[in-house]
Structure 1
Amino acid sequence: MSLVLITLSILGINIAYVSIFTLRLILVLKGKRGAASLFAMVEVFIYLAGLNLVLNNLSSPIHMAAYCMGFGIGVYLGSRIEEQLALGYSVVQVISNSVNTSLPDKLRQYGYGVTSWTGEGRDGQRLVMQVLVKRSNEKRLLERIEADAPKAFVISHEPRHFRGGFWAKLLEK
Structure 2
Amino acid sequence: MDFAAVLGISQEVFEFVLLPLIIFLARIIDVPLNTLRVIYMLQGKRGLSTALGFLEALIWLIAISQIMQHLSNPISYVAYAGGFAAGIYVGMGIEEKLAIGNIVIRIITQRNASKLLKALKSKDYKFTEVEAHGSKGEVSVIFVIAGRKQLHSLETLIKENNPKAFMTVEGVKSVKEFDEMMEAPIPKSFLKSPFLKVK
Do both proteins adopt the same fold according to a TM-score greater than 0.5, normalized to the shorter chain? yes
Q: Which residue is 1:67 aligned to?
A: 80
Unaligned runs of at least 5 residues, structure 2: 5-12, 184-199
On the 8 A contact 1:23/1:79 being kept in 2, the answer is: no
Asked if 1:84 corresponds to 2:97, the answer is yes
Q: Which residue is 1:164 aligned to?
A: 179
Secondary structure in structure 2 of the residue aligned to 1:96: strand
Match of 1:148 among 161, 184, 197: 161
On the 8 A contact 1:115/1:129 being kept in 2, the answer is: yes
Mapped partners of 2:57, 2:157: distance in 1: 43
Amino acid at match of 1:54: I
Amino acid at match of 1:145: I
Q: Which moved more, 1:72-81 or 1:83-92?
A: 72-81
Asked if 1:96 corresponds to 2:109, the answer is yes
Residues 13 and 100 of structure 1, relative CA distance in 2, 3 Å threshold: closer
Match of 1:111 among 120, 124, 127: 124
TM superposition shift of 1:138? 1.4
On the 8 A contact 2:25/2:83 being kept in 1, the answer is: yes
Q: Which moved more, 1:41-50 or 1:104-113?
A: 41-50
Amino acid at match of 2:168: I
TM superposition shift of 1:99? 2.4
Greater gyration radius: 2
Q: Which residue is 1:56 aligned to?
A: 69
Match of 1:131 among 138, 141, 144: 144
Mapped partners of 1:160, 1:30: distance in 2: 6
Structural RMSD (CA):
2.1
Deviation readout 1:37-96 (Å, 9 max, x if unpaired): 121222222122212221121111111111111112212221221121111111001111
Mapped partners of 1:124, 1:101: distance in 2: 17
Q: Which moved more, 1:96-105 or 1:82-91?
A: 96-105
Mapped partners of 1:18, 1:82: distance in 2: 12
Q: Which moved more, 1:50-59 or 1:11-20?
A: 50-59
Secondary structure in structure 1 of the residue aligned to 2:140: strand
